[in-house]
């Protein structure tokens, strides 16, 4: 058993059923017998609710990151509306930043999976990847380079003062760079410093132009500021499947969901 690695997901009370599905798939299809950490936001599941998750499981309780100030900024400078209205309906996404607190340095390696994501096959190939000093995560332009670059993660028209501050801080050249999709990632906990979590929280309000909540800010910190992102490989070394996918329809060969270790939104869900 690999005691140096923890698989982590996050949920509030309303999304607990999704976290439950992901953890059960991780234990069954993923064949993971090691540590699972569930970050619970402003609630605590009962012993009965977590009994099925097996040994080497723990809850890490946190408080929701208060983003009232951000909404007040958006009242004056509303950002571009997303199709899923994520700014206003998925605000618990900000709490993903808690996985970068010093507590998680208890383990050498963290593998984070969004609650609700599907685990379709054993996770062992993930553990063979070198994460030393790295943050591994899928490029959002995969699998055939759809042209997405960092600029699409921000609204530079709504708040000229913030746009200028962004350019002064990071430089406009970063906007043509690739960026990662943060619903599934793994990293060496050596990248966590005492300032990591405070900086991420600060940048929520310092750069209130991130269109997809946490993803834009996390890319600024992990990729542009720290330069520790390494794109996750797409296919397994033996060609039998894939590390991660968003949906089967993104692939010309239309692989089934069980060809992926992790898939965010499979068209046909695997049974629990």
The domains of the chain, with CATH numbers, are 5-263 (3.90.550.10)
Of 269 and 47, the structure prediction assigns the larger pLDDT to 47
From CA 44, how far away is CA 242, in angstroms rounded? 34
Q: Which SS3 state, helix, strand or coil, does residue 101 take?
A: coil
What is the structure's pLDDT at 186?
Answer: 98
What is the structure's pLDDT at 3?
Answer: 85
Region label for 222, one of left (φ > 0), alpha (ψ between -120 and 50) or beta (otherwise): alpha
Q: Residue 2 — pLDDT band, cuts 50, 70, 90? A: confident
What is the structure's pLDDT at 85?
Answer: 65
Is the per-residue pLDDT at 52 higher than 70? yes
Q: Which SS3 state, helix, strand or coil, does residue 203 take?
A: helix
Is the per-residue pLDDT at 153 higher than 80? yes
Q: Read off the pTM.
A: 0.96
Alpha-carbon radius of gyration of the chain: 18
**Chain mean pLDDT for the chain:** 95
Is the per-residue pLDDT at 120 higher than 70? yes
Tokens of 1: 């058993």
Give the tens place of pLDDT for each residue, 160-205.
999 999 999 999 999 999 999 999 999 999 999 999 999 999 999 9
């Amino acid at each position: 058993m690999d005691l140096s690695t923890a698989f982590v997901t996050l949920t509030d009370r309303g999304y607990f059923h999704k976290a439950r599905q992901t953890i059960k798939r991780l234990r069954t299809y993923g064949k993971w017998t090691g540590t699972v950490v569930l970050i619970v936001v402003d609630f605590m599941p009962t012993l009965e609710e977590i009994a099925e998750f097996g040994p080497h499981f723990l809850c890490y309780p946190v408080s929701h990151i208060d983003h009232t100030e951000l909404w007040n900024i958006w009242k004056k400078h509303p950002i571009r509306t997303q199709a899923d209205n994520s700014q206003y309906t998925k605000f618990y996404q900000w709490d993903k930043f808690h996985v970068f607190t010093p507590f998680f340095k208890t383990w050498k390696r963290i593998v984070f999976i969004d609650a609700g994501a599907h685990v379709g096959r054993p996770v062992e190939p993930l553990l063979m990847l070198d994460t030393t000093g790295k943050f591994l995560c899928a490029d959002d332009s995969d699998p055939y380079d759809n042209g997405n670059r960092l600029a699409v993660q921000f609204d530079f028209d709504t708040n000229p003062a913030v746009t200028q501050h962004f350019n002064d801080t990071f430089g406009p050249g970063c906007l043509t760079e690739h960026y990662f999709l943060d619903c599934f990632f793994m990293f060496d906990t050596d990248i966590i410093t005492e300032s990591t979590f405070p900086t991420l929280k600060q940048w929520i309000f310092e750069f209130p132009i991130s269109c997809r909540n946490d993803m834009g800010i996390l890319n600024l910190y992990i990729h542009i500021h720290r330069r520790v992102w390494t794109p996750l490989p797409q296919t397994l070394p033996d060609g039998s499947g894939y590390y991660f996918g968003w949906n089967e329809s993104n692939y010309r060969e239309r692989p089934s969901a069980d060809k992926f270790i992790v898939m965010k939104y499979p068209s046909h869900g695997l049974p629990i």
